[in-house]
Amino acid sequence: MNLGLYGHDDEWIAVDCGMMIRQDLPDSPLQVPSLDTADALGITPSALLITHGHEDHIGAAAWLWPRWQCPVHATPLAAGLLRAKFTERGLATDAIQVIEPGEALETGPFTLRYLPLTHSIPESCALLIAAGGYRVLHTGDWKLDPEPLIGPPIKGALFRALAPVDLVVGDSTNAPLPGHSRSEGEVARALEHRLSQCTGRVVVSCFASNLARVLAIALAAERCGRRVSLMGRAMERMVGVARGLGYLDDMPPLVPVSDLGYLPAEEVLVIATGSQGEPRAALSRLASGRHHSLELRSGDTVIFSAKAIPGNEPPIERLKHGLRRLDVTIWDEFNHPELHASGHPAQEELRTFYGWIKPKHLLPVHGEPQHQRAHRTLAETLGIQAPLAPVNGDLIRLDGDGLTLEARHPQRPCIVSQNAVTPLPGLAAERGSSRNGILYLALPVASTGPGWTRIGRLMLDAHRVSALDEDELADWLDERLEALQAGSLAELRLALEPLLTAWMAEHLRQLPDIHLQLLAVEAPAFTDRD
């Protein structure tokens, strides 16, 4: 989920408003950002700025916007997708205003400019945010793709003209990876080569929003003598909106799903949703034999032209197990990595981009702590100050002294349940309920240079907290402690509590109240006694 708030002189704007699917919970509900902290701090944005049309950047807008009732600025494709979401929920779409890549706007004390970047969806833009004499570049999601298939390559001169910027709020997703991410043009050629080797039906699953990939698959199918069909509501909606904007004029005619049974197997290619193992998506229905129009058989091939999002590995493996039972050939990121390209920058792209914009400071966002650490390390080799690795709920100040962590506000998960946004049930919501509990965690720790080390075993009282894997929690804590740079127990608690809350939210259906106790221990003395 992505929701960033920028404030100056007590006026605020919001950047992006995304959601995620909680596949670990029954019925896989949507999770959206919590607005409790913003409400408590009296923050109501005067505008919502959308960087691009991916679900993790726009998926919560129709659920949270009614709380704000502010103008929504988005490029044409994202605006079209938002209008469809608003209409589906019975909301007026007048607030959604189209802005073209490259254009600027003003709201309150903020001057903003949309700067086009390449990504795995057209019209992805960075935002240059100017206020109070400072200039912040919020990159959104991006990569340096010399052959993006849809839309032009990135213009280096445009970003060199910005240098220097005071702060870059930058994408950390692929910061640990050396080199350069693969181009969509390379993937298109690899797909055509592999499709020419297939004999039975072929199903290719990718993200519906990756329109360049959808177009590449369709064109490769046409050149290999196959007819193309779309499967999945999200895929049909995305292609429909994109065609209306002229993005898929080269796409071959589509065959209705209901007509696939009349075609020879070697002439069928389906582009389907469900690459992340979503139980209600088209690919899961095919794997379980529940699709009303198509049945997969031995000799057919399923291509995963998408990488597993961290956390989705179990449902994806269940999906693949179902496909193997049908004796279907599976090509994925492990046996055919050339069939997918990430939409995020690897290290050489980060170095090139930061060489253009010359940022004074970096705030690394997206990804896990290890991705942020790698991003900070790379930035520091370039002379960029990167003192913080933010977590959800951090309130950070940029001023003449650089970046300062003002406060941390742990975020309770919110899910969409029965057509409403509600907190994920926990002790605070239902005190005294037998379904919930309190988790007490006493953690003896010792400082070991830049990080901290757990001494002995966890002392854990998880009364009425079910499905908690203590070994997994211990391993996770050891990794976090080793990476956290805190000078005192108070600083360590401040850094660890929101991370622990987020971990619990991901692993427990009901989030308990968490009481974390840290005890200082002299590591050598403890070892001698032991």
Query: In this predicted model, what pLDDT tens digit does every residue of 10-49 receive, in sequence order?
Result: 999 999 999 988 877 777 788 999 999 999 999 999 999 9
Q: How confident is the model at residue 520 (pLDDT cuts 50, 70, 90)?
A: low
Q: Token pair for residue 131? A: 């206020």
DSSP H helical segments within 389-485, as ranges?
470-483
As a whole number of angstroms, the distance between CA 480 and CA 471 comes to 14
Which residue did the predictor score with more confidence, 413 or 86? 86
Q: What size, in residues, is the chain?
A: 530
As a whole number of angstroms, the distance between CA 168 and CA 378 comes to 14
Instruction: Select from 389, 524, 516, 391 the least CA-distant residue to 453.
Output: 524
Is a pLDDT exceeding 80 seen at residue 287? yes
> pLDDT exceeding 90 applies to what percent of the chain?
68
pLDDT score, position 457: 59
**Mean predicted confidence (pLDDT) in 334-362:** 96
As a whole number of angstroms, the distance between CA 71 and CA 107 comes to 10
Reported as a single tens digit per residue, the pLDDT across 88-101 is: 999 999 999 999 99
Is a pLDDT exceeding 80 seen at residue 175? yes
Contact call for residues 380 and 386 (beta carbons, < 8 A): yes
Return the H-helix or E-strand segment holding 114. strand 110-116
Show the domains of the chain with their CATH numbers: 4-180+342-423 (3.60.15.10), 184-339 (3.40.50.10710), 438-520 (no CATH)
Helix 233-244, helix 76-88: angle, nearest 10: 130
Give the rounded distance of the alpha carbon of 154 from its chain centre.
Answer: 22
Which residue did the predictor score with more confidence, 24 or 190? 190
Instruction: Select from 353, 377, 341 the least CA-distant residue to 182.
Output: 341
Strands 110-116, 125-131: parallel, antiparallel or unpaired by DSSP? antiparallel
Reported as a single tens digit per residue, the pLDDT across 421-468 is: 877 764 333 333 333 344 445 555 566 566 677 766 566 655 545 556
As a whole number of angstroms, the distance between CA 300 and CA 202 comes to 6
As a whole number of angstroms, the distance between CA 306 and CA 487 comes to 41
As a whole number of angstroms, the distance between CA 512 and CA 501 comes to 9
Strands 30-32, 329-331: parallel, antiparallel or unpaired by DSSP? unpaired
pLDDT score, position 433: 33
As a whole number of angstroms, the distance between CA 212 and CA 121 comes to 7
pLDDT score, position 442: 52
Contact call for residues 311 and 257 (beta carbons, < 8 A): no
**Mean predicted confidence (pLDDT) in 471-478:** 77
As a whole number of angstroms, the distance between CA 345 and CA 140 comes to 11
Burial class (CB in 10 A: 0-12, 13-18, 19+), 258: exposed
Burial class (CB in 10 A: 0-12, 13-18, 19+), 133: exposed
- How many CB atoms neighbour CB 447 within 10 A? 18
Q: Which amino acid is residue 30, in one-letter code?
A: L
Instruction: Select from 450, 341, 382, 340 the least CA-distant residue to 170.
Output: 382
Contact call for residues 169 and 365 (beta carbons, < 8 A): yes
Contact call for residues 260 and 294 (beta carbons, < 8 A): yes
Mean model confidence pLDDT for the chain: 87
Token pair 């095919």 is found at: 286
pLDDT score, position 456: 61
**Mean predicted confidence (pLDDT) in 199-214:** 94
**Mean predicted confidence (pLDDT) in 402-406:** 96
DSSP H helical segments within 123-210, as ranges?
156-160, 184-195
pLDDT score, position 438: 46
As a whole number of angstroms, the distance between CA 59 and CA 86 comes to 10
Q: Which of the residue ranges 273-282, 430-439, 468-477 would you say has the lowest mean pLDDT?
A: 430-439
**Mean predicted confidence (pLDDT) in 132-154:** 95
**Mean predicted confidence (pLDDT) in 334-357:** 96
Q: Token pair for residue 483? A: 């990476």
pLDDT score, position 486: 75
As a whole number of angstroms, the distance between CA 68 and CA 381 comes to 41
Is a pLDDT exceeding 80 seen at residue 121? yes
As a whole number of angstroms, the distance between CA 143 and CA 353 comes to 9
Contact call for residues 264 and 290 (beta carbons, < 8 A): no
> Which DSSP category does 87 fall into?
H
In DSSP terms, which residues pair with 124 in a beta bridge?
none
Residue 444's Cβ-side half-sphere holds a number of Cα atoms within 13 Å equal to: 9
> Which DSSP category does 33 fall into?
-
Sheet holding 30-32, edge to edge: 20-21, 30-32, 414-417, 420-423
Q: Which of the residue ranges 59-63, 260-264, 437-441, 523-527 would you say has the lowest mean pLDDT?
A: 523-527
Query: Secondary structure of 234-245 in the HEC alphabet?
Result: HHHHHHHHHHHC
**Mean predicted confidence (pLDDT) in 267-272:** 96
pLDDT score, position 460: 62
For residue 104, the SS3 value is: strand
Number of H helices and E strands in the chain, helices first, is 15, 26
Rg (CA), the chain: 24
User: For 475-501, b where at least 16 C-beta lie within 10 A, e where not — what string?
Assistant: eebeebbebbebeeeeebbebbbbbbb
Contact call for residues 58 and 18 (beta carbons, < 8 A): yes
Q: How confident is the model at residue 503 (pLDDT cuts 50, 70, 90)?
A: confident
11 to 8, 42, 43, 137, 191: CA distances (angstroms): 5, 10, 8, 18, 49
Which residue did the predictor score with more confidence, 423 or 235? 235
Q: Which amino acid is residue 406, in one-letter code?
A: E
